[in-house]
C-alpha cells in the first residue's frame, strides 16, 4: 500500500482534519507503543500500520 492510499483511507475513516491529529497523538499497542506517524517514520509498512489502525478503530471488513 502506498502512503497516498493509506492517507486516503485514514481520511475516509476519520475525516481529513482529524486523521492527521489522530495519527500524531494516538498510541497503538499494535505498533509497539508508537503513534501512526512514528511507526511510518520508523519504516513500518503503510499496510501494517493500516491493519493496526483498522483493528484499533474496529472498522468493518470492507476497509481492508
Q: What is the pLDDT of residues 7-62, one digit of tens each?
A: 999 999 999 999 999 999 999 999 999 999 999 999 999 999 999 999 999 888 87
So what's the pLDDT on residue 59? 87
Where exactly are the structural domains of the chain?
3-63
Query: Tell me, what's the pLDDT at 60?
Result: 82
State the maximum Cα–Cα separation within the chain, in Å, rounded to a whole number. 28
Backbone angles phi, psi at 2, to 5 degrees: -85, 155
Q: Contact 3/47 with Cβ under 8 angstroms?
A: no
Tell me the pTM: 0.89
**Are 26 and 35 in contact, with CB atoms under 8 Å apart?**
yes
Amino acid at each position: 500500500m502506498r502512503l497516498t492510499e493509506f492517507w486516503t483511507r485514514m481520511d475516509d475513516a476519520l475525516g481529513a482534519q482529524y486523521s492527521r491529529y489522530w495519527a500524531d497523538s494516538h498510541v497503538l499497542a499494535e505498533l509497539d507503543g508508537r503513534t501512526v506517524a512514528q511507526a511510518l517514520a520508523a519504516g513500518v509498512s503503510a499496510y501494517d500500520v493500516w491493519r493496526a489502525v483498522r483493528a484499533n478503530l474496529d472498522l468493518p471488513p470492507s476497509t481492508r
